[in-house]
Structure 1
Amino acid sequence: MKLAMKDETLGMWLGVVGVAMFAVTLPMTRLATGTQDAPQLSPWFVTLGRAALAGVLSAIFLLATRSPRPAAHQWKPLAFAVLGNAIGFPLLLAYALRVVTASHAAVVTALLPLVTAAVAALVLHQRARLGFWLCAIAGSLLVVAFSVLRASQSGHGFGFEWADLLLVGAVIAASIGYIYGAQVTPSLGAERVICWVCVMALPFTLPAALALWPQQPVATSAWLGFVYVGTFSMWIGFFAWYRGLALGGALRVSQTQLLQPFLSILASIPLLGEPLDMVTLGFAVAVVATVVIGKRLSQPQDNKARVVYRGDIQPD
């Protein structure tokens, strides 16, 4: 009993460590890409380069652990995970963060667990209660209201920033990647899923990153941001996160993900000098509240759904 309690406690702490690593992805990505007024690394280079860096580390891990190759039927879901998690999410996020602040992005991406559950319901034909869909609509309306308010305050009139559409696209891309990646998690093993995703992309990401290598001087802070998202956001964070899920229980440990938008906002203060905006914080609290309620109303009932539900956690 004591050993089980120690495992649960360790699992919770590993979950918190993983979430903290993922939360810092937003300000670190903005450091890497810079802003429209002061651009640093290209969003394409950051996306492909971080995947290439994680791919090299993953190849070393898979060889060192003598991991077996995926079976034939596992390549398709892994390919969707590559498109969603290794390419779609980081690329759209990188372009968006050249325009909006990391705190702003934290509010929009806070919808990720709810959107992932919705994608699971649609793709896997799972039945979801009316209350879940009402929460999904409420959370979406909160994000719309926040985006319109921020655009208005920035002098862009009553409407969306185009970067908000990129953030929504990033959330959808990540959700699709998580659903397909979760389908092969029970057979491949959680840590090996992200490794195979990165290795599968390596023949494309490595030469593309080398071809896109910046020719102009880049600030040291931008390179530090790049190394962080390639090493921690794309790789090490998953090891802590998935191991935490295994030790502490997926449903219990996954609740630590609710800390992520707040940790992103807090990390943006020292890393980027962004102010602690109470309006942003208030919207983040409201969106997270809809996620909490929605996740409770989307708890899967059968074993297949339960496996997929483990994939609704944001890795980044």
Structure 2
Amino acid sequence: MMFTAIILCGLGYAEGAKLSRTLGGWQVISWALVLSLPVTAPLTIFFRPESFAEISLEAWLCLAYVGFFSMFIGFIFWYRGLAQGGIATVGQLQLLQPLFGLSLAATLLKEQVSIGMLVITVGVILCVAGTKKFAR
């Protein structure tokens, strides 16, 4: 399932970037949301909580923030960046997110970063650097 998800995600990014060259990032993500509605709506109904009264206002506001800013607005800029910078080039930048995530978690949240996490992150960075070197 993970392998299938990786392939489908990559295809979705690549196709979204190609489409955003002609449609624009906001239209691509909007259409993606519309086309996914027949799958997501029934799943939402199936997994809904017993009572919405138990969900706090803060939880609703957080959901709205994540849904609108982190996902919708974020994908507009992501697809625009993929279209302008090239799918393969900009797509590799996403592989550096673990480095930034670990750095922020350790710095801002005082999280413990294990040696294993660092080794994997350095491995990913070396892979990205290797693809840049050998692609020329």
Q: TM-score, normalised by structure 1?
A: 0.33
Larger RCO, structures 1/2 (Cα 8 Å, 6+ apart): 1
Counterpart amino acid of 2:113? A
Question: What's the counterpart of residue 210 of structure 1?
Answer: none
In the alignment, residue 73 of structure 2 is paired with which amino acid? I
- Cα pair 2:18 2:83 within 8 Å, conserved: no
- Correspondences of 1:191-206 after superposition (within 5 Å): none
Name the counterpart of 2:2: 15
Question: Hey, what does 1:32 align to over in structure 2?
Answer: 19
Match of 1:103 in 2: 88
Cα pair distance change 1:116/1:78, threshold 3 Å: farther
RMSD: 3.6
Distance 1:106 1:66 in 2: 32
Structure in which a larger fraction of residues adopt helix: 2
* 2:55 alignment partner, one of 71, 88, 91: 71
Equivalent AA in structure 1 for residue 55 of structure 2? A
**Cα-to-partner distance string for 1:112-153 (whole Å, 9 max, x where unaligned):** 233333343345331436994xx67xx4xx8xxxxxxxxxxx
- 1:84 corresponds in structure 2 to 70
Query: Are the equivalent residues in 2 in contact too, given 1:30–1:97 (CA < 8 A)?
Result: yes
Task: Tell whether the 8 Å contact from 1:48 to 1:87 is kept in structure 2 after alignment.
Answer: no
Structure 1: which 5+ residue stretches go unaligned? 1-13, 35-39, 143-257, 262-279, 286-316
- Of 111, 132, 135, the residue aligned with 1:126 is 111
Aligned to 2:132: 283
User: How far has the Cα of 1:56 moved from its partner?
Assistant: 5.4
